[in-house]
Amino acid sequence: MTLPQRTVTLASTIIILLTTGLAASWGQEAEPQPPAAGKVAFVDISTISSEYQALQEKDAELKAWLTGRHNYLVSLQDYIFLSEDNFNEALAIVDQPKPIAEEKVKRLDELAALSLQKEQLYRELESKSPRTTEEADQFSTMREGLGARQQQLAQLEATINQQYQERVTTAREQLMGNVEEVIAQYAQENGYDIVLDRAFVLYGGEDITFAIIDRLNPPAESAPEEEAPAPAAEETQPAPETEQPPAEGE
C-alpha cells in the first residue's frame, strides 16, 4: 500500500533531522552541566519589618512628628481671617519651640482676637442681602483673603506630607540596609550561598527569618534578681528548768 505523499515527506524530514543531529553530536564533546545548586535560605521581609524594633521605633517617631505638624496646621485655623503679613507672623510664632515666650503668647492672643473679629464681620456680610456697593467690595476683598490663606494652608500641608514621606524613605533605606548587612553576615557564617525573599520561594530552602530578627534586635535587659531576704534567726527558747530533787532533811 502506497503512503500518501505528505506522510512520506514528513517522515523523510524527521529522519534527516535525526541523522543530522546524531552526526553533529558525534563530532562534539558533551556540553558542560550547570553546577549543582548551593545551600539556599530565605527570609520573610514583611515579618522582619514588623518585628525589627529599630524600624518600629523610627516609624512611631515619624508618625508622632506628623501628628504634631498636623496639629500645628489645625491651630493655624484660628488666624485664617488675618492679612497675609499678620498670618505669617502667627505662623512663625506658633511654629517656635515650646514653651513660647510670654510676650509671644500675648501677641498670638491679639492676632487670634483680630481674626475672630474679622470672621464675625465676614459672616455678617455673607448672610446680608442685598449688600451695598461698599459692603460688596469689602466682602469680596475678605473672601479673596480667606481663599489665599486657605491655599497657603493647603500648600503647607502638602509640604509637610512630602517631608514625612522623604523621612520615611530615608529611614527605611538606612534600616533595611542594616538588615541586608546582617543577612549577608549570617549567610557567610552559616555557609548559605543564596538568601531569597520568601515571596519568591515555591519549594525548598531554609527559613532563617527569626535568626535574623534575633540578631537585629538587642537582647532584652533582664531585671536584676532581687536578693531573697535572709531567713530570720530562730528564737532560741530557754531550756526548761529541771525540777531539782528535794534536799535530804526537807
End-to-end CA distance of the chain: 156
With 80 as the cut, is the pLDDT of residue 239 above it? no
pTM recorded for the entire structure: 0.68
Tens of pLDDT, residue by residue over 60-118, are 999 999 999 999 999 999 999 999 999 999 999 999 998 999 999 999 999 999 999 99
The stretch 52-56 carries a mean pLDDT of: 95
**Of 220 and 121, more confident:** 121
In the chain, where the domains are located:
37-216
Q: Greatest CA separation found in the chain?
A: 158
Tens of pLDDT, residue by residue over 15-33, are 223 333 333 333 444 455 5
Tens of pLDDT, residue by residue over 144-174, are 999 999 999 999 999 999 999 999 999 999 9
Query: By the 8 A CB rule, do 18 and 177 touch?
Result: no
- The C-alpha atoms of residue 150 and residue 116 are separated, in whole angstroms, by 16
Residue 194 has a pLDDT of 94
Task: Please state, rounded to an integer, the average pLDDT across all residues of the chain.
Answer: 82
CA-angle at 25, arms to 23 and 31, nearest 5°: 170
- The C-alpha atoms of residue 105 and residue 109 are separated, in whole angstroms, by 6
